[in-house]
Amino acid sequence: MNIEIIVSDITALDVDAIVNAANPTLLGGGGVDGAIHRAAGPRLLEACQALPELSPGVRCPTGEARITPGFELTARYIIHTVGPVWLGGGSGEPEQLARCYRNSLTLATEYDLASIAFPAISCGVYGYPPKRAARVALRSLLDAPEGGPSQVLVCCFGRDMADIWREALSDAS
Ligand code: AR6
């Protein structure tokens, strides 16, 4: 697996799947979630609404992942995952964040996808400290079983975030 850290708007990427940092409703929100819904068009909301609710308002529990088409995106698929809200680190946040990356990769593997781009899940509204998030995320990606996407991008929304992830990648590999 080749992991690369890039700076971009994730909605512009030409990859098999982009990952959305969603919330459990999967009905859209701010941040990267809002950008993806705007760029993919209204059929994305319809596709998300059609996914089964496991409990009222919950289509995707924290740490799990769901897949939809990419609709108007260049990416063929969107993998929606729900990161943990940062509560100080002692409430299972690292394990939940690791599961987001792992479960997204598992879905990509099931769909035989060669390339996938992740945003910095939980590093915005959900408040996860970026250095810690990068460490957990990269460990989860590097320890993933063989046979998944050969190209993994981490798409940062600014140079400062990318610098943090690049340093974490060089520490981890
Ligand atoms: N491309 C790439 N990265 C982006 C983009 C973009 N277009 N826009 C923002 N980011 P966040 P979270 C970065 O808040 O912390 C939503 O309302 C952003 O700078 O989008 O997991 C959901 O519905 C940050 O580094 O996601 C949930 O309610 C990273 O993406 C909640 O926010 C993640 O920030 C999820 O919060």
* Interface predicted TM-score of the whole assembly (ipTM), two decimals: 0.99
Q: Is the CB of 22 under 6 A from ligand 1?
A: yes
Atom of ligand 1 lying closest to residue 161 CA: 25
Residues spanned by the domain of 9? 2-172
Q: Under a CB-based contact definition with an 8 Å cutoff, are residues 69 and 17 in contact?
A: no
User: Among 121, 157, 163, which residue has the most ligand 1 atoms within 8 Å of its CB, making it the best to mutate?
Assistant: 157
Claim: this prediction has a pTM higher than 0.80: yes
pLDDT at 79: 99
Kindly state if the Cβ of 35 falls inside 6 Å of ligand 1.
yes
CATH number for the domain harbouring residue 111: 3.40.220.10
Establish whether residue 100 lines the binding site of ligand 1, counting it when its CB lies within 6 angstroms of any ligand atom: no
Tens-digit pLDDT profile for residues 83-110:
999 999 999 999 999 999 999 999 999 9
Q: Alpha-carbon distance 73 to 20, whole Å? A: 13
Give catalytic status of residue 33 as yes or no: yes
How many percent of the chain have pLDDT more than 70? 100
- Say yes or no to pLDDT of 173 above 90: no
Q: What pLDDT is recorded for position 51?
A: 98
So what's the pLDDT on residue 75? 98
Strand partners of residue 34 = none
Alpha-carbon distance of 148 to 157, in angstroms, equals 25
Task: Give the residue from 102, 99, 94, 121 showing the smallest Cα distance to 23.
Answer: 121
Give me the number of domains the chain comprises. Answer: 1
